[in-house]
Amino acid sequence: MRDLNHPAGVEGATMTGLSPDSKEQGQRRGRGLLFCGDPHGRFDHIVRAAISWPDVPVILLGDLEPERPLIDLLEPVWERTWLIHGNHDTDAQSVAERVWDPAVLGRHLHGRVVELPDGLSIAGLGGVFRGGVWYPDPESPLRGQPRFDSRAACMRSTPRHQRWQGDVALRHWSSIHHDEWLALRGMRCDVLVLHEAPGYHPHGVPVLDELARDMGARLVVHGHHHDALDSSGRWAAQGFRSFGVGLRGVTWIDPDTGESQVVVAGEPEQSQAGR
């Protein structure tokens, strides 16, 4: 049975992890970040939480499914909001048009590194692994190899009438493409946000651990599984701190110290777990 809430178990609890890097801590005592688990169409709790944490960046972990423009839904905190997409953000064209709205693209973290005002660098990899593009499991039919080496190759194999916005099919806008993962490996960041979970999770994917280590990420945070398992026993071996945030949960985490606090507990909605 998965723990649908935070390992600390109660709102307001804190948890301290690996010893902080004293050199970096001395340079920047960060204010931390607010990480928001799959909203699935609801944003009021995020706005409420973020207003009570002034100036703290707000990071959405995918499966947003906004029913109105994101800028309107998150207006009071939009100027400090960043996001990645999830697998359900391509379920409907109307949703995808809001998530990839040109007015929103500047807030996307997928496939790049952004330096936040306090100097913290954060990168993102949205979406999920799918066999139609790349399923990095040695037991899979392609033995973990990508079906397409690149998003462009996937697009070229897609009949024109099936492309969305002149690119891959809509569904594969939320698939993880091999070249996007590879490109990130050559970048550096302090924090990596994912929709899929890294290897510590029972349904996690070990190539995401490789990505985090190559990028030098000290903190990895993910959504998708609607849980927040305690992975602290794995942190030293895997080389980074890892956290999941539950369905519509909000967790504050300080990347420098590993200290965390559940601001909004994830909803215990088993029927949607792993969506």
By the criterion CB under 5 A, which residues form the site for Fe ion?
Answer: 63, 86-87, 224, 275
**Minimum CB distance to Fe ion, residue 50 (Å):** 22
CB nearer to Fe ion: pick between 40 and 177: 40
Give a three-class secondary structure readout of 156-185: HCCCHHHECCCCCEHHHHHECCHHHHHHHH
CA distance 56 to 118: 10
Name, in order, each residue with C-beta under 8 angstroms of 244's C-beta and a sequence gap of 6 or more. 37, 197, 201, 221, 222, 223, 225, 227, 228, 229, 231
CB nearer to Fe ion: pick between 86 and 255: 86
CA distance 176 to 181: 7
CB nearer to Fe ion: pick between 196 and 256: 196
**Minimum CB distance to Fe ion, residue 46 (Å):** 17
CB nearer to Fe ion: pick between 63 and 180: 63
What the block records as the tokens of 203 is 């349904």
CB nearer to Fe ion: pick between 198 and 255: 198
**Minimum CB distance to Fe ion, residue 73 (Å):** 19
**Minimum CB distance to Fe ion, residue 37 (Å):** 10
**Which stretches within the chain are classed as H helix?**
22-27, 44-51, 70-73, 93-99, 151-156, 178-185, 206-215, 235-238
**Minimum CB distance to Fe ion, residue 75 (Å):** 25
Of all residues in this chain, which one has the CB nearest to Fe ion in the complex? 224
